[in-house]
Structure 1
């Protein structure tokens, strides 16, 4: 009785706090999801940093260089297939909003089978993919040999890696971020332990690093499947399998197709930024790479807010509560913008201290200090763009996301990037990236009213 009183009293206190600060009613729910998502996201760079540390302490540096080279191929491949997570989150959240357990299970089955199929195709095509990937990059023979050894063992985990995208998307859609956090801890923790055993203790070098990643992905997948098996009704699964129709598959594939195209376009924009930086010289490439690393680190935090936006936007759509969508955008967008603003402000105020943690090449400090101001518009507009992305992903608006990706890349980014390349001007290149983010905000923002009409 006393416990029930405390719970009611706590809820009353929360509600009064929300009213006092004029926060929307879902604020605590949003903040809980976002905070767990951020913790989960941060496990990835921490595990990556520890893996690099193990490789960096080997006698031969070409193992570290080779793994870095091969990772580019996997980053492009897996990021391009990241639609498996985003499409799963949106549809699952909508099913949860409607309290339609069959739809929630159906998206897991459909996208799970798609992920496994794509993973098996990657395994079948691993040698052609390796030939294409390593012919697009240039490196010394020893570096390339280490890169190929890493590739050969890491590619074995492709089916598990893609299925993990679906499992994470499904748990996010169900607002079970704590399970995502546990998966991240288990997967990345296993990766670090296996890295130590395979690289340091057993001397497998770059092939050991790839095998450690594959095994950790498989362990993470098995734990995720265990979580699912404890969460679902198996009799209901049998009934749903019998009801799957071609039309259901078609709609699912169309959404995944649009999100895949959108992801490829956005990846291509950042690849073009890196290629133009490279054309301006090694020094400019190194300088811009450091600034992009800072950008990526801040995005790990912002993505936590964007994932929470996906979950709640889909849930609200499923319930038909469109009056909550604009408050959600305002709340998450404000938090994201404030986070970006604080991050850039700290960099501007203490540039040498923070950049010193990323590089000891003091010759590029003057460039970094003079160009760090560009992170203000890039992250300022980007913080809103990522939240709008999360909003439309939650609503499963694949066509809108695909079309705005086209527009922001080929209208906002490419023309100015070409001019920057022609004049060999890094400031113009950062202007292109700023316009890219601003155009995404504009095009997505203009589509928001249409989503409210459709509910």
Structure 2
């Protein structure tokens, strides 16, 4: 489990570093508008690509199961189907760029100058969408093939190229925020090209029928369920942010500071979740139900230890981290008052991540979808009951949401994991 997890953890950590470079470069452009535009545009793509994450997860699930059954030709067909779907979705995004960006920027509601720059950033970056989605599919397949170091290499290449191109196109060539978007698109293209070269042997080898109706239907059904599950998850985070904004500027800013800690822990702990996906898919493909219990047990041991380590680190270093992320006394005071929730969240969240990984590997998209819907309702109920406690109640409701995710998924898995074999 650890052999699979650690390269994935490093891969995940490279993702927010690109955002830091984008922010630093935009922050050195004249005026505050470029930084605001990159923040808005980056958020648009975060939610867009997060919503399309079913390409990576669905590919991992179906390919791992095929490899577990010893059906290498079917696993190669899964790769081709995923790349085909990535191409179709990427083309659709390019064709619908106008209305998609108009809706996204209307929802974000920035000032006119920021909106114009954000649109320029998004239009430049959107050209990389087909390549980015192809990279999702390739990474999903490489995970299923238990090649985590190849995944690490691809993501470090793409994200490193993005950071380097930021410096070339913006300070070097003076392309402004359009250059930042173009850097992301070019890096996506480089990553996808490297992935296709790496997978050249698999793409050239014989495979099962790519457009076999039953297999295509399974991919689309799993993708649909994971997409709906992700929409609820995105909605939960948006709801948390919106309710923080209703409490005032200081709680909103303090929550944004503490959510950086939660984001960091999720990137790290997802390494164990991704490893769980692969091992669970292979065990299920081989028909070993007892293997699923062993996979979950190993993941719980390592993931629990990782979550405890993060909680301890946040407890000890949290005040210093808050000081680094904000200099405003009111924001720092509110963030320190809510820091115990940020310390608790890795311990509350890890079980949902691991059960998500188990569900993805087993291809149980419907269970994930239904559990997330119930967890979303749990969030609304908890928030309603805890409103008198203000921001503390909001953090408590969000923590309960994470626990509810694990509870509902655990109940869905209980019959399958309770059997002997």
Q: 292, 297, 316: which one pairs with 2:283?
A: 316
How many Å separate the matches in 2 of 1:138 and 1:429?
A: 24
Q: Is the Cα–Cα contact under 8 Å of residues 310 and 346 in structure 2 kept in the other structure?
A: no
Selected match of 2:78 from 90, 102, 107: 107
Q: What is aligned with 2:55?
A: 84
* CA apart distance, 1:235: 4.7
Aligned to 2:206: 236
Q: Pick one of 376, 391, 399 that aligns with 1:426.
A: 391
Match of 1:441 in 2: 406
Give the Å deviation of 1:341: 2.1
For the residue of structure 2 that corresponds to 1:360, the secondary structure is: coil
The equivalent of 2:176 in structure 1 is 205
Query: Could you say which residue in structure 1 is the equivalent of 2:189?
Result: 218
For 1:388 and 1:113, locate their aligned partners in 2 and report how far apart those are by CA, in whole Å. 29
Shift of residue 245 of structure 1?
A: 2.4
CA contact (8 A) 1:98 1:319 kept: yes
Q: Is the 8 A contact 1:273 1:417 kept in 2?
A: no
1:247 to 191, 214, 220: 214
**Is the contact between residue 171 and residue 179 of structure 1 (CA under 8 Å) also seen in structure 2?**
yes
Contact 2:300 2:351 in 1 (8 A): yes
Give the whole-Å Cα distance in 2 for the aligned partners of 1:284 and 1:67. 23
Instruction: Report what 1:150 is aligned to.
Output: 121
Q: Note the 1:29-428 alignment, pairs <5 A.
A: 30-230=1-201, 232=202, 234-237=204-207, 240-241=209-210, 244-410=211-377, 412-420=378-386, 423=388, 425-428=390-393
Aligned-partner Cα distance in 1 for 2:187–2:340: 39
Q: Distance between the aligned counterparts of 1:220 and 1:347, measured in 2?
A: 34
**Per the alignment, do residues 283 and 234 of structure 1 end up closer, same or farther by CA in structure 2, a change over 3 Å counting?**
same
Normalised TM-score (structure 1): 0.89
- Contact 1:280/1:424, CA 8 A, preserved across alignment: no
Equivalent residues of 1:154, 1:210 under 8 A apart: yes
Give the secondary-structure state (helix, strand or coil) at the position aligned to 1:425.
helix
Say which SS state the counterpart of residue 344 (structure 1) adopts. Answer: helix
SS at match of 1:215: helix
Deviation of 1:152 (Å): 1.1
Provide the secondary structure at the position in 2 that maps to 1:346.
Answer: helix
Deviation at 1:252, TM superposition (A): 1.5
Shift of 1:418: 3.6
The CA distance in 1 between the partners of 2:76 and 2:17, in whole Å, is: 33
Segment of structure 1 superposing worse, 260-269 or 50-59: 50-59
For residue 108 of structure 2, give the secondary structure of its aligned residue in structure 1: coil
- 82-91 vs 44-53, which deviates more? 44-53
**What value does the CA root-mean-square deviation take over the aligned residues?**
1.7
Q: Which has the larger radius of gyration?
A: 1
Unaligned runs of 5+ in 1: 1-29
Corresponding residue of 1:15: none
